[in-house]
A and B are shown apart, each in its own frame.
Chain A
Amino acid sequence: MSINRRKFLIQTSLGLGGAAAAAGFIPGVGFIGSALAAELADPLAPKAPHFPSKIKSVIWLHQNGAPSTLDLFDYKPELVKLAGQPVPASFLKGIKTSTQGGVGKLYVSNQRTWKQHGESGAWFSNLLPNLAEHADKMAFIKSSVTVGATHDISILKLNTGDVNPGRPSLGAWVNWALGSNNPNLPSYVVLYNGDREPQAGSVNWSSGFLPAVYQGTPFRPGDSPILYLDRPDLRTAAQQRGSLDLLKTLNNIGAARRPEDTELRARLQSYELADRMQRAAPEAVDLSQESEATKKLYGIDDKTSQSYGEVLLRARRLVERGVRFIQVVSGHPENISDQERRSWDAHNDLDGNHGVQARMVDKPIAGLLADLKARGLLDTTLIVWASEFGRTSWGESGSGRDHNPWGYTQWMAGGGVKAGTTYGATDDIGLQIADKDLAVDTYDVHATVLHLLGLDHLKTTFLNNGRSERPTVVYGKVIKELIA
């Protein structure tokens, strides 16, 4: 009988396999730890955090296109005073202005008014009247910084911590580190409003070098959230189950022979998950079960805020069902065809653009905060309002603002957050952060989110090609001042 080296290794390994499997032996790999063995058996099984977590779920509100936080939260009387003048040189020290518009004159919209809200006295502009009512639920990060000044690159950094594709997104790290709380739904879901997937694409919810099973699952707007999820009419549930069982048996044989094939394991999981999701997912996103009052709370009765409101109401329903990480990418209202108003990217006509975008998100986010609070879920849910960068203090095209990675505002609310506080500040014209030591980069936001989930970002490590990788690359600092 002829036998080659590969066959010999496989057959001898499989011969030992049955007895050794329980002890964590994988043919061709060797003995593995019980945790890893469990992970291979069910990679989405719940895992313990490093320390008790303050929250169960995260809703990551990416404001796509980069809003001008100078027109929303960061009131600058000095900018109002200097509007129309060139930027004083002292404010430009240390920054490289390579953005497309160059450095124009300082700009302030004559439609902007400001008011302090809540006991915290947080400033809100007239663009966010509903959100302003929740000032005391929020912790502002007014010293946000990032790298890059083009959307796709900075969006990638916002979600994965790197400006090059290939690293896992924050949601994927969370999914990998903590597993799933609901076997019938993906534990990392991506939601968006608008008529197409977010512009920077699936690389922003990728699992990178982590096993593929941990990547995010996009839910489309509408009644059928996942493409091709519905069982064809001509096929009975029993027939489908029979096919899946056969497929599972065959795939398990293949998986046992190729334990390193994470794509196959992800596929095995996805078939089973899809079967369960056929029942769970449509129900999870079925808003017909919600009262009219709730829909109104989320602004679903207004054409401009309807689609974003529906998405956030879905997010709340997913939180209720134990979904751990929900990444929501803002799009545009259904009635908007003007390309200039399909994201927050207001290079011109900021008033027109932000008028639409702010109205689109204001009531829904305020509704989400109120609804989570009323249902007792705000204490265990973290809301993060984030964007790829901010916008410049100077004007562009006469009525817009350019990209600003040197100083902008983001905020958090919900479980474990020191509500009603502000961390850091920008300079007097809102261009750069005022104190470099208080800079909060995307890595720091990630480290803080992970901390609230009970994960030490320094110990959330994955060995990739011999190198220990972590969500915060080589950076990251938990911003303790943001934590209650």
Chain B
Amino acid sequence: MRKLVILGATLLAVAGSVISAQIEIDDDFMRSVEDSNKSLANHIAIKDTKGVSIDTKELSEMFAQVEAFYATKGDAQDALDITKKSRQLIADIDKSVASKDFDGANVMASDLSRACKSCHNFYKKS
């Protein structure tokens, strides 16, 4: 019985570390977000619908990870709010570009960058 408990605890610990590794937000991850964000701004400016679609898909997945990270971390409601706002902006950018409203998408992409910045004010490690 004791061996079973130890085995169970070990499995839980391993599983837990795998989950936390999956949603780890490190420098490399954030640089990828930044690259995709810059790429998005570029694709909107040159009206490249396909490029925008690739960028928004990537960013959407990344922000889902960010949201999961802060949900797990706890005591970070402002980060969760900013992440949700960012995901909504990304979805809205997609819609605007689909309807050829690149000006609107451009404004929203700037808002998205501002949202990133406001989150960094609280959480960026330097």
Contact = CB atoms under 8 A, between A and B. Distances in A.
Interface of A: 94, 96, 98, 145, 436-437, 439, 441, 458, 461, 463, 467-468, 470, 472-477
A458 B110 contact: yes
Nearest to B41: A474
A305 to B, nearest CB: 38
B45 A96 contact: no
A467 B41 CA distance: 9
A476 B107 CA distance: 9
Contacts of B107: 458
Contacts of B38: 467, 474
Interface in B40-60: 41-42, 45-46
A91 B27 CA distance: 27
B126 A474 contact: no
A474 B122 contact: no
B117 A475 contact: yes
Contact of A468 (B41, B110, B117): B41
Interface of B: 37-38, 41-42, 45-46, 103, 106-107, 109-111, 113-114, 117-118, 121-122, 126
Contacts of B126: 96, 98
Contacts of A468: 41-42, 45-46
B94 to A, nearest CB: 17
B46 A458 contact: no
Nearest to B107: A458
A336 to B, nearest CB: 35
Given A468-B41, A474-B38, A436 B118 contact: yes
Closest 4 pairs between A and B when the two form their complex, measured CB to CB:
A468-B45, A474-B41, A474-B113, A458-B106
Contacts of A461: 45
A427 to B, nearest CB: 13
A441 B117 CA distance: 10
Contacts of B42: 467-468
Given A461-B45, A467-B38, A470-B41, 6 more contacts: A96-B126, A437-B118, A439-B117, A458-B106, A468-B42, A473-B113
A477 B115 CA distance: 12
Nearest to B126: A96
Nearest to B78: A436
A37 B98 CA distance: 33
Contacts of B45: 458, 461, 468, 470
Contact of B110 (A96, A145, A436, A474): A474
A477 B121 contact: no
B47 to A, nearest CB: 10
A458 B114 contact: no
Contacts of A470: 41, 45
30 contacts: A94-B121, A94-B122, A145-B121, A436-B118, A436-B121, A439-B118, A439-B121, A458-B103, A458-B107, A458-B110, A467-B38, A467-B42, A468-B41, A468-B42, A468-B45, A468-B46, A470-B41, A470-B45, A472-B110, A473-B113, A474-B37, A474-B41, A474-B109, A474-B113, A475-B110, A475-B113, A476-B110, A477-B110, A477-B111, A477-B114
Residue from A145, A436, A463 with most neighbouring chain B CB atoms (10 Å): A436
Contacts of A474: 37-38, 41, 109-110, 113
A458 B111 CA distance: 12
B64 to A, nearest CB: 21
Contacts of A145: 121
A189 B117 CA distance: 32
Contacts of B121: 94, 145, 436, 439
Contacts of A437: 118
Contacts of B106: 458
Residue from A439, A441, A475 with most neighbouring chain B CB atoms (10 Å): A475
